[in-house]
Chains A and B, each alone.
Chain A
Amino acid sequence: MTLADTGSGETVRIVEIKAGRNVRGRLLGMGIMPGSEVRVLSGGRGGPVIIAQNDCRMALGLGMSKRIVVSRMDPDARETE
């Protein structure tokens, strides 16, 4: 499933980013890469999303959210900070 399929309140782990090198590179610099954990704050349900990572908030447009493959995180398995 992709970020566009998530709903607000969910925590997901990024599995794959289906985009070209440039886009992946930009996301990388912002800390978004396979393995990252992000919280979905709003959006999803087929559209653009706002995600949170630590104290950062980022908005990903429709085209982008559909290209980030994620997996839901089991809340019990999440590492404590």
Chain B
Amino acid sequence: MILRKSGGRINAQLACSPRPGAHMPPSKRWAMVRFESVGLHYGQAGKAGGGPGPEVLRELSFAVPEGGFRWLLGPSGAGKTSLLRLLYLAVRPTRGRLSVLGADITRAERRTLPRLRRRIGVVFQDFRLLPHLSAFDNVALPLRIAGRPEGQIRADVAELLRWVGLAGKLPSLPDELSGGEQQRVAIARAVVNRPALLLADEPTGNLDEAQAERLMQLFKELNRLGTTVMMATHNETLVARHPGRALRLDHGRLVADG
């Protein structure tokens, strides 16, 4: 179990410092994420006329409080990934109003977004590790981008990778790691900055049952410590094992929130 390795600095980093408001009831906490009639369509690059493509998300309205947990469910093409892209600020809504981490993303100036992105951790289904960087450097990236001191980076990253069971793999390139190991590197990168909002897009897609279960334990622990977690998945078995509030999408619309 990943969390059984929770000793030393990681304990100090994560376990011993729950987020402010982590112990408050959800109704008392401010909304980490708020959608108000949000719509999204992508441009049709290369097509004659260059007009907007079909709307992939329509009239989405919901809120997730700070420290909340949400499954994001729905069939392929329902819009789960597009919704996550909105949340990690890869796209902006084309309609409605979106608030993430208290900032109005619809109107926010472009130069203010990087600071928000540093408070959002994302685990991708395909990991999205940089292939020319070692496991250590991949995990260190968010800290270096944030301008943390190198001494702190070395200590924190080494400890975090040890925590996820990759102590001997620090210099390994992603290609030299198994799928599960790459997944753990991706998770370490997503949480190394202690994000306020953790997003995961089919994070168990490349994992066996045991690895998926470990991942869930990690996410639940982070959520218990105050991190808001939203996880898109097709894995109904996993959802059944870890029941929680779910947002269900179908054809770009929110069909259930509860």
Q: Is chain B a partner of chain A in the same complex? A: no
Residues on B facing A (Cβ under 8 Å) = none
